[in-house]
Amino acid sequence: MPNVPRRRVCLWLFALAAAVPPLVSAQGSAPPVVVTRVQEQPVIESLPLSGTVTAPRSARLSPGVAGLVERVEVDAGDRVEAGALLLTLDPALARWSLDMAAAASEQAREELADARRRLEDVQRLESNRAIARTELHSRKSEVSIDQARVRLREAERRIADERLKRHNLRAPFAGVISRKHTEAGEWVNPGDPVLELVADRELRVDLAVPQRVFPRIDAQTRVELRLDALNNEVLPGRIGDIVPVSDPQARTFLIHVYPEGDNRHLIPGMSTSATLYLDTGATGLVVHRDALLRHPDGRTTAWVVTGQTPPRVEERQVKTGLGFNGLVEVREGLQAGDQVVVEGNEALQPEQAVTLQTRLSQGAD
């Protein structure tokens, strides 16, 4: 080797090293990334709401007659079926009243039977002209009066019988006793609440919905429910009733949503969150939400795979719209069919080579 100055050799080696990237850098410049494509599809507006689990029926139960409480058959927390005996009033006086009414009814029927026999006797004599016609009319009047008296006494007997039945308070529907207001030995009157009963079947969620979306909601509108008490487990719902009356203060209207599937863990009063998915009537470009990177300066960007070989990425600034089902509407910055990075996009650099892996599902995980 000719005698070359040491300084010139060093400069030549430095230039050569700068022209050829190190082997390790070349191997590490194509990290694996997961990609998906920008698609065009109907745009859905997702509307978050909050609501409460509500019982379809609740009642503050009261006896139908005044009386002394003899027994209370249930306690708070008990579940009862429709028709179950809940409370009994002392029935002694009511039974005696029923016995008196039954005796009076029987007496009236006997008097009617006697009046009819006397009428038949008079009718036989009247055919032989052996009795005055006025006597016949008098007997007929007695029969009519006794018939009316029988109806009166029978009505009194039925009233006494019904009054006795009302000394037993029964459940008007199936549910849970939520509160107990009385005990044995207390005197209660009609209208005094003695028990509170709440239906625990066919529970619904009441949602207050902004009035601006009223024309876009019907029984087919998709709705999802999340319950705080169930670790935000998602329950599909079905819109049952749309109450077409707006709250003038809150500018909202009410919808009743019925959870589908296993809802045995629901209890009235639970707080819920819900999402309504409303058709906007428009189509647009959508991309998985993981493809979007939001920056502190307010920019939103996505890494797009170019058609080069090997594949490389470029960063694009995008303008977004509505979000739904793990997707986000893209109004500017991307085109249908673009491949965007949804995993491994946190540390990419412009024009960096990547190894592609395709995500099969476009929706949220």
Q: How far is the CA of 263 from the CAs of 19, 23, 120, 204, 226, in angstroms?
A: 68, 60, 72, 10, 12
Residues with Cβ < 8 Å from 148, sequence gap 6 or more? none
Other beta carbons less than 10 A from residue 302's beta carbon = 27
Please provide the CATH number assigned to the domain covering 58-90+167-198.
2.40.50.100
Residue 176 CA to residue 201 CA, distance in Å, equals: 10
One CATH from 3.40.720.10, 2.40.30.170, 3.30.70.20, 2.40.50.1020 for 47-56+200-281: 2.40.30.170
State the Cα–Cα distance between residues 57 and 175, nearest whole angstrom: 9
Residue among 225, 171, 236 at smallest CA distance from 198: 171
Please tell me the class of the 92-165 domain: mainly alpha
Sign for the CA dihedral angle at 131, 137, 143, 146 comes to negative
SS3 content of the chain, % helix, strand, coil (to 5): 30, 40, 35
Q: Show me where the domains of the chain are located.
A: 29-43+283-358, 47-56+200-281, 58-90+167-198, 92-165
Give the whole-angstrom CA distance, residue 240 versus residue 258: 7
CB 324 within 8 A of CB 364: no
- Residue 127: per-residue pLDDT: 67
Tell me the whole-structure pTM to 2 decimals: 0.61
User: For residue 245, how far is the Cα from the chain centroid?
Assistant: 19
Separation CA 344–CA 356 (nearest Å): 10
The reply to whether 58-90+167-198 shares the fold of 47-56+200-281 is no
CATH fold label, 29-43+283-358:
2.40.420
**pLDDT of the chain, 365 residues: tens digit per residue:** 445 455 443 444 344 344 434 333 333 468 899 999 999 988 888 899 999 999 989 999 999 999 999 999 999 999 999 999 999 999 999 999 999 999 999 999 999 998 889 888 777 776 666 677 777 788 888 899 999 999 999 999 999 999 999 999 999 999 999 999 999 999 999 999 999 999 988 889 999 999 888 888 888 899 999 887 777 778 889 999 888 887 777 788 899 999 887 676 788 888 889 999 988 888 899 999 999 999 999 999 999 998 778 899 999 999 998 888 889 999 999 999 999 999 988 889 999 899 888 765 555 44
3-state secondary structure of 119: helix
